Amino acid sequence: MELAIEAKDLRKRYPPDVQALDGVSLSVEAGTIFSVLGPNGAGKSTMTRVLCSLTTPDSGEAKVCGIDVVKHPDRVRRVIGVVGQKHGSDQNATGRENLVLHGEFHGITGAELRRRVDDVLERVGLQDAAGRLVRTYSGGMARRLDIAMGLLNSPQVLFLDEPTTGLDPEARVQMWHDIEQLAVQHQMTIWLTTHYMDEADSLASQLAIVDRGRVVAQGSPDQLKRELSGDTVLVELAETDDGRAAGAIASVTTINDASVEGRTLRARCADGGAAIPAVLAALDAQQVKVASVTVSRPSLNDVYLRHAGRAFEQAESESEAVAA
């Protein structure tokens, strides 16, 4: 198995006391879409910046295409493309002008530059909009231009840092299609960070779930979900729990891995449908009112809960509170 990316025990701390990476180790097989899934503040962007040689780790080792990112950052930059969270284009220039300027930064000129610009415009479907100012582009078009800029130097590894954040649902689905086509048609390794579970589940052949600067689980989405046997029972309470729901669910012997956060009760069991009557009876006995009950097969949210010890929504809320 040829590895496109290797990281061993990466650590990075920002003053005064933010441990962005806390011993991250992972490997990415060449030619795959590898997703790093985690809430905001989990360390995804710091990990990406280290692998792109934009940030130096405090300790640990990382290689991209077999090249050490600390010892040979210039060589690493020749074999990667990078699409950051924010748009990298000049809004007052045309799409083509942005690509020409970006190509010149890479030392590409003349007929070769013109050929590559035409090629990437076709790849991302912007041929007809190439002469328009970028400020007239939709959000999805501007993001596709960012990806075109990342492809201009024909990278072996393309880093996409939360590429669909801020896009409307239709543009997100189109972006997913574009990313899949890049991987399939061009045998490219794609590193995709996201905090959208459906995105990771849909696109990634392998993923790493990160929380508080650590990789808490790694594998294919299906493999990680299969590790959780049985069903998930999700109960939406009519009111925020005051402790009675947690106590009630603890008395149901067929339930395990139960947790209550606000108005949401989650539990694992072998047979969700058979467990519902006992769950409702236990809650009713404690005079806990229920708004709805659903049963589903394991999801990445369940995987995250198991490995991180908290629901994904809770982790997002905590990161937003810290940022505020």
Give the pLDDT score at 314.
74
Sequence-separated (6 or more) residues with CB below 8 Å from residue 74: none
Can you tell me the distance from the alpha carbon of 194 to that of 39, in angstroms, rounded to the nearest whole number?
8
Give the pLDDT score at 217.
93
For 234-258, what is each residue's pLDDT tens digit? 999 999 888 899 889 888 988 887 8
Label residue 79 left, alpha or beta by phi (over 0 means left) and psi (-120 to 50 means alpha).
alpha
Q: Are 60 and 9 in contact (CB under 8 A)?
A: yes
Give the pLDDT score at 309.
78
Query: Count of CB atoms within 10 A of residue 239's CB?
Result: 12
Give the pLDDT score at 90.
92
- DSSP β-ladder status, 67-68 and 80-83: unpaired
Q: Are 161 and 195 in contact (CB under 8 A)?
A: no
For 146-199, what is each residue's pLDDT tens digit? 999 999 999 999 999 998 888 888 888 888 988 888 888 778 899 999 989 999
Can you tell me the distance from the alpha carbon of 115 to that of 154, in angstroms, rounded to the nearest whole number?
12
3-225 under CATH 3.60.130.10, yes or no: no
Can you tell me the distance from the alpha carbon of 125 to that of 319, in angstroms, rounded to the nearest whole number?
36
Q: What are the domain boundaries of the chain?
A: 3-225, 229-297
pLDDT < 50: residue spans in the chain:
324
**Integer CA distances (angstroms), 194 to 36, 136, 268, in order:** 6, 26, 26
Question: Dihedral, CA atoms, 311, 315, 316, 319, nearest 10 degrees?
Answer: 170
What CATH topology corresponds to 229-297? Alpha-Beta Plaits (3.30.70)
Average pLDDT value over all residues in the chain: 90
